[in-house]
Amino acid sequence: MERTTLGTVAKKAGVSKTTASLVLNGKAASVNIAQTTIERVKTTADQLNYKPGHFNPGRLNGKTGIIAVIASHFLSCRNSLWLHHIIVQLKTKGYVVVPVLSGDDIITSIENTIADGYIIPDKEAVNSLTGKNIPDIPLICAGFKPTNEGIESICPDYRHSVNSMISLLYRHNKKAIGLIAEDSRSFSTQKVIETYRDNYCDRFDIPENLFLLSATDNRSAAIAEAIKEVTAKGANGIIFETPEMAIEALSQKNVRDLAAQNLMFACCGERPEFKMLDNDILLVCPENIEEMTAKVVEKLLNIVSANNSEMSPV
C-alpha cells in the first residue's frame, strides 16, 4: 500500500501543496488562511490517513532538521552510548542526527557542518575550545561541565554519585573508604573530592585517604601504586573517580589478588566490561546517560526554538 503524500492531500482538498503544508505544520494562522480551508485540509488528511515523512524540516522549529553530535571519536563505550541515546531521543522530535569527528580544530568542524544545533559528549573534543571565542550557535556539552563557562552543559550529579558509592560500600561493611581521583582542577574532580570530604570524612570524623593521579603518570603503574598506598592506610573500600580507572585497575592480577583479601571497589559509569566483572569486587552505580540525554535534548531544542523566534520577522 502506497503512503499518502502531501500532494495527494492537497489535490483532494483542492488547494496547493504550499497551503496544505502550512495547514498541516500549524502555520496557517501566520499567513491568514481561511478557517474553512484549514478544516477541509485537516479533514482530508485524516480521511487519507496522511502521515508526514520522518525527515520534514518544515515542521520543526529549526532550519535544517539536523542536529550534529561532535566527538573526537565514537569508538569508546561512553561516546557510542551518548550517540545512541541522542539518536533515539531526537528521532521522536523529527530530527536527523549527524555524527561529526572534531579533528584538531572543533570550531572548523562546527563551521563546516550545517545543523540547527550541536551536542558534544566528549571532553577531548571540547578541550580545544578553551580560551577561544565560541561560535554564536546552539551548542551544549553532554555529560560533563566544560572549563569554558560560555558553553551550556548538562552534567551528572556528582554529589549524588559519590554518596551512592559510599552507601554501597557501607552496606558491604567497607567502612574504611579511600578515594582515587585525577590530579585535576576540573569541575567533576573537585565535586567528587569535595563530596568525599564533606559526606564521609567530615561526617564521620575520619581522616581523608586520598590519592591523586598525575596526568603524566604511567596509568597502570600509577593506579596500582595508588591502590597499594590507600590500602596501606587501612582502606578496605576504594572509590574510583572514573570507570576507566576501575577497568585499568582490575585488568591487573596483583590488584585482583588484593580484592580477594577483603578489598572492594566502587565507581560510577556504564560500560559493557562491568558485566564481566565479579560483583564481589566492584560495585557500579549507573551514570544514567539515557536520563541525561532527555535533559540535553530538551535544553538544546529550547535554545534552537528561542534563537529562531528572535530571528523571525515581527
**Tens of pLDDT along the chain (314 residues)?**
466 788 889 999 999 888 888 888 777 776 788 899 999 999 999 998 887 665 555 445 557 889 999 999 999 888 999 999 999 999 998 899 999 998 878 888 888 888 999 999 998 888 766 666 677 789 999 999 888 777 899 999 999 999 999 999 999 999 999 999 999 888 999 999 999 999 999 999 999 999 999 877 778 889 999 999 999 999 999 999 998 899 888 888 888 887 777 899 999 988 766 765 655 788 998 888 999 999 999 999 999 888 765 544 43
Q: Is 92 exposed, middle or buried (0-12, 13-18, 19+ CB in 10 A)?
A: exposed
What is the CATH superfamily name and number for domain 66-156+291-311?
Answer: Response regulator (3.40.50.2300)
CB 223 within 8 A of CB 243: no
Q: Grid coordinates in use for 308?
A: 529562531
How far, in whole angstroms, is CA 119 from its chain's centroid? 8
The pTM for the full model equals 0.73
Q: Grid coordinates in use for 164?
A: 551512592
The topology (CATH level 3) of 158-287 is: Rossmann fold (3.40.50)
- 286 to 161, 270, 271, 279: CA distances (angstroms): 9, 6, 9, 14
Query: Which amino acid is it at 117?
Result: G
CB 55 within 8 A of CB 65: yes
| Helix or strand (DSSP H, E) at 219 | helix 219-232
The reply to whether 6-53 and 66-156+291-311 are identical in fold is no
Which numeric CATH code is attached to 6-53? 1.10.260
Domain ranges of the chain: 6-53, 66-156+291-311, 158-287
Closest CA to 155 of 189, 111, 127, 178: 189
